[in-house]
Structure 1
């Protein structure tokens, strides 16, 4: 398909953003607010704010299977159901049908996707932490992967910028391992969590406990209310979409901000599969896409291109973008495209019961928990048999009527007992850092999907370092609960989950200092295609042990600022 003349002019913009998720929404907002005419291309369907969240206000009895997983989900959402929750009826429509969008596994990988406007910004965990200074130097210091081309100081002002816009609730704790940011009031810990915090602080001098820093509004600013957002309602039904805009998503925040400028065009159901590179001009000139419903082919053109289709799909596009200049895929002189897949390993920790405080309860259904920042291999910590570290997320709660499932008992007395709140319990689960390993990768298989595009094949597994770390993650979770006075402590280390289960996939087109060892430079530009930027999880050079989405946003805002500056200088 070769479009010329007026038809090509209709398809030409200042910038193209591929993907509408967390980083894509930020790219569109920033570029639009800086005066560029922007086309945002989403491969999936449109989901409109509020009206598109059709299960948001439903009760359990409004669903055929009470909101739970059914046999159809187990068959058609076969990757998603590995999480244990994404196949649930109440929010299944937010996740992708794996039977319709297949992938292959040489070694297992749980690829959890959301192909629609907003992407996984509608279903993300919303935990929002800054990386620390050491996170950006760890590769250099311990010899794994390649050195980051940026440092914390390069991203710090962009973290502040992003936090002020999205709204992050949390507390400032003065910890080097978990840098403070710009926060709205933190959500309150319940009485058992406060007791746990006090005892851990007393018995483990180098360990902290804080409330999760999460992208939920607790005291909305004018920036947020002007976009129609309101405070979190403590409903904890977030994966259905929030009609109140209480948590940050593309729909609640970046999309309306971009639309306010009048500079945004959004097109949906278009699967971008290639960046068009002009060998004579030495730069990218546009993208190729296929309509997912009609299979009609399209070409769109722009001066700059932001790939924000997710860590796997952005790289999938680059792999198919071959030219004379880039015979091995766009920016792939290093042969690192598709390699170094990272995720956070989890499903390891401990739980226990708490005796006392039976006269205490808590407000609402808080969509957040506590956080124990990394302490392993930090400060005065003892020498470990692994590098890097881990943090814990968790919380305390009281059991409700659901505890009666499987219990002995019947009749009026049993029903009456189930109307009373049950005992306290608490669990903490670890999130551990994984190391970059070029043998953890995906390739384009020979198999084609229904659009004639290559199907991804994964070949990834947890490394020896992660497996050693998990033993410490399990044991020390149990030790902390024991030290805090919990009873009936049960530790676990589930060996089953594959990489991908944390839904924090990173690293397939990493940033670096040299085109021989990386795909992107320090401004997120593709080596050899300087007008193409990649600012989603694909860009990550290492993984840290904290949730990565805030870093994606900061990288995107920073790269957009640089891109527009270079465009004005006519360098792109």
Structure 2
């Protein structure tokens, strides 16, 4: 299955093996297409290469910390990710080998996972459908172009993806957050159930619901057939899960693609550019540089799907410029590289929960709760456009909460064995407006070790996002205080774009080829056999995590491409 050189012409080439690339490969193979999956990083085999799995901190040299020298030399950016530690660092990109540039005094955290499976091994697994409030937002307030699709265009594809992925949650009937096909949710704790009751009584427009995550709480026959098992509630997902209990390329889509016998994979293959044929106005292949020995090779296909991540796909398109497309491939509109977005997590609130001293919880639930966007309807009186959701959850303090307090002797040691106070926390996830000035381009002189021009990123949160986070901190404080929690605090972070790890935009879809790169099926307006189905295709960021929508759009695009090939229009 793993290849290096190849003389054959494939039916389809998929670039990138993360969440979208894995789905594209699966769908093409199951529809009878000979498919090549190109991955710039190393091979990661399910179970075998989860080298940090099951290793507790006390067996690690620095108790799960990464040495300061390694951090400064190799992981200066990657260390900012919540999932980064000594048990997971092998799944992160090396900043020394993967440089980029920021412009105009901006900052950006580009978190990367260059290996087979990509960030599907590291993601936080939250899966929320988008609604028509999200797809209509640009049209209503004039920021960004109008989406060429609506919820009804994705509804059946959401269902298809959800049944395969396995998403735990509960039907709520919310207009702003459509229900999915659900497995049973994880249990709420006793304090969470009490907080939910009080919050929804005092704030009828705000529901505290189960977080919807790609975890197999009760595997279906389909999941068992995939070789996946039930979630063990270890909350060590980023180390890799041999149970296959959370969705990843390795546990789910890759095995299905492989069993068709139609899949080949070219690992350690850094895509330098796409090979364009001006006579036919088609992309005929992909030019790659070997990740290890820097040799060059080419692969050819009838259809090419770019699934290399928002910034990765855009870098490839920009570097594929030619006489027909001097500003980047498929960029007659001039918007390629523009309208970069990320989610804004810069507001928080927390408090102590009185009582419940006789209650605790079993296991380590891998996900929390969620307050869906209650600002989903436009309001001219609001001091900002769009809205935010809030992640939430409870925990009971353990020994770490008193590790810096004074104490000595037997009594102090005994206290370390007893649980402390119950705590409740909120964290905002705000929408970022699509703005032309938030953009990426190729640096004019600096190149990486493969000879590819570095990306220069120019992106910052606007005053709108700042006002939104100020409101989120204020509302968080107000909610926790009103429901009777104690020692309520709230505040703001100052993390830059990229910290949400939800990069979107830069090759957006749209109805008008003059202001967009892709049509409503993720097909390039300018080049019929080229599709882009990762986050770069998005016209807005909404509030919800985007991964479920990535998957639904990818499956829909493959279905469309296969029909177009059959009709000889590609």
Q: TM-score range by the shorter chain?
A: over 0.9
Change (3 A) 1:377 1:228: closer
Distance in 2, matches of 1:444 and 1:279, equals 23
Q: Is the 8 Å Cα contact of residues 344 and 433 (structure 1) preserved in structure 2?
A: yes
Alignment match of 1:400 (pick from 377, 398, 401): 398
Q: Which residue of 1 aligns with 2:251?
A: 252
Structure 2, unmatched stretches of 5+, are none
The aligned counterpart of 2:486 is: 487
Q: Is the 8 A contact 1:389 1:469 kept in 2?
A: yes
Task: Tell me which residue corresponds to 1:384.
Answer: 382
Q: How far does residue 325 in structure 1 lie from its aligned partner after superposition?
A: 2.3
Structure 2 counterparts to residues 236-315 of structure 1, below 5 A: 236-315=235-314
User: The residue matched to 2:394 in structure 1 has which SS?
Assistant: strand
Q: Which residue number in structure 2 is paired with residue 478 of structure 1? A: 477
Q: Give deviations 1:207-244, integer Å, cap 9, x for gaps.
A: 11101000001111111111110011000001111110
Aligned residue number for residue 502 of structure 1 = 500
2:44 corresponds to: 47
Residue 258 to residue 169, structure 1, CA distance change in 2 (3 Å): same
Following TM superposition, by how much is the alpha carbon of 1:442 offset from its aligned partner in structure 2, in angstroms?
A: 1.1
- 2:119: which partner in 1? 120
Deviation readout 1:493-543 (Å, 9 max, x if unpaired): 112x11000000000100011111011111101121110110001100100
Could you tell me whether the CA contact under 8 Å between 1:53 and 1:241 is conserved in 2?
yes
Please tell me whether the aligned partners of residues 199 and 483 of structure 1 are also in contact (alpha carbons under 8 angstroms).
no
Give the superposition deviation at 1:382.
8.9
Tell me the residue number matched to 1:148. Answer: 147
Q: CA 1:377 to 1:564, structure 2 compared with 1: closer, same or farther past 3 Å?
A: closer
Kept in 1, the 8 Å contact 2:331–2:526? The answer is: no
Q: Show the counterpart of 1:198.
A: 197
Equivalent-residue separation in structure 2 for 1:465 and 1:359 (angstroms): 44
Alignment of 1:167-566 (within 5 A): 167-378=166-377, 383-445=381-443, 446-495=445-494, 497-566=495-564
Q: In 2, are the aligned partners of 1:508 and 1:539 still within 8 Å (CA)?
A: yes
User: d(CA) in 2 for partners of 1:526 and 1:411?
Assistant: 69
C-alpha deviation, 1:260, in angstroms? 1.2
- In the superposition, relative to structure 1, how do residues 245 and 15 fare at CA in structure 2: closer, same or farther (>3 Å)? same
Q: Tell me, what secondary structure is at the counterpart of 1:255?
A: helix
Counterpart residue number, 2:20: 23
Q: Which runs of 5+ in 1 are unaligned?
A: 1-6
**Contact persistence 2:290–2:296 (CA under 8 A):** yes
**Residue 205 of structure 1: how far off its partner (Å):** 1.1
Q: Report the equivalent of 1:4.
A: none
> Which of 96, 101, 109 is residue 98 of structure 2 equivalent to?
101
- Quote the Cα distance in structure 1 between the aligned partners of 2:158 and 2:523: 20
Q: Secondary structure at the match of 1:361?
A: coil
Aligned match of 1:36 in 26, 33, 38? 33
Q: How far 1:335 moved relative to its partner?
A: 1.3
Query: Normalising by structure 2, what TM-score?
Result: 0.97
Contact 1:42/1:271 (CA < 8 Å) preserved in 2? yes
CA RMSD of aligned residues (A): 1.3
Q: Give runs of ≥4 in structure 1 deviating > 3 Å.
A: none
Report the TM-score when normalising by structure 1: 0.97
SS at match of 2:344: coil
Q: Distance in 2 between matches of 1:86 and 1:209?
A: 25
3-state SS of paired residue (1:314)? helix
For the residues of structure 1 that align with 2:206 and 2:489, how far apart are their CA atoms?
21
1:83-94 aligned within 5 A: 83=81, 85-94=82-91
Output the CA distance in 2 between the equivalents of 1:171 and 1:202: 19
Secondary structure of the 1:214 match is: coil
The more displaced of 381-390 and 142-151 is: 381-390
Give the secondary-structure state (helix, strand or coil) at the position aligned to 2:529.
strand
SS of structure 2 residue aligned to 1:525:
coil
User: Alignment partner of 1:196: what SS?
Assistant: helix
Residue-pair matches, total: 563
Cα offset for 1:457? 1.1
| Aligned-pair CA distance for 1:321 | 1.0
Alignment partner of 2:273: what SS? Answer: strand
In structure 1, how many angstroms separate the alpha carbons of the residues matched to 2:143 and 2:334?
Answer: 17
* Deviations, residues 3-53 of structure 1 (Å, cap 9, x unaligned): xxxx99724211000000000000000000000000000000011000110
Q: Distance in 1 between matches of 2:468 and 2:304?
A: 39
The corresponding residue for 1:3 is: none
- 1:13: which partner in 2? 10
Indicate the larger mover: 432-441 or 61-70: 61-70
Tell me how far 1:462 sits from its aligned partner.
0.1
Paired with 2:380 and 2:198, the residues of 1 have a C-alpha distance of 21
Aligned to 1:131: 130
